[in-house]
């Protein structure tokens, strides 16, 4: 029981997807932490790119960079 609880606790700490804008090559300190899915990160990153980097649409190569920069 104690072991199970410990595993659940560490599992919870490990969960959450992370993304740093500078990992895509931008000089930008924007970060996403604790997203529940890659899709959520992509949506937040797209909204950030539109607002902060004036990208109305995300070019395919940028989407690839963002996807590669997402860590879980």
Footprint of Zn ion on this chain (CB under 5 A)?
21, 26, 28, 30, 52
At closest approach, how far in Å is the CB of 48 from Zn ion? Answer: 6
Smallest gap from Cβ 21 to Zn ion, in A, equals: 3
Which residue matches tokens 């960079």?
65
CB nearer to Zn ion: pick between 31 and 72:
31
For residue 20, CA distances in Å to 11, 25, 68 come to: 22, 10, 11
Cβ atoms < 10 Å from Cβ of 38: 14
CB of 52 to Zn ion, least distance (A): 5
């Amino acid at each position: 029981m104690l072991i199970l609880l410990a595993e659940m606790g560490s599992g919870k700490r490990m969960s959450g997807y992370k993304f740093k804008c500078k990992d895509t090559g931008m000089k930008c300190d924007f970060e996403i932490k604790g997203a529940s899915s890659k899709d959520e990160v992509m949506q937040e990153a797209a909204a950030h790119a539109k607002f902060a980097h004036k990208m109305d649409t995300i070019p395919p190569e940028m989407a690839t960079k963002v996807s590669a920069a997402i860590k879980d």
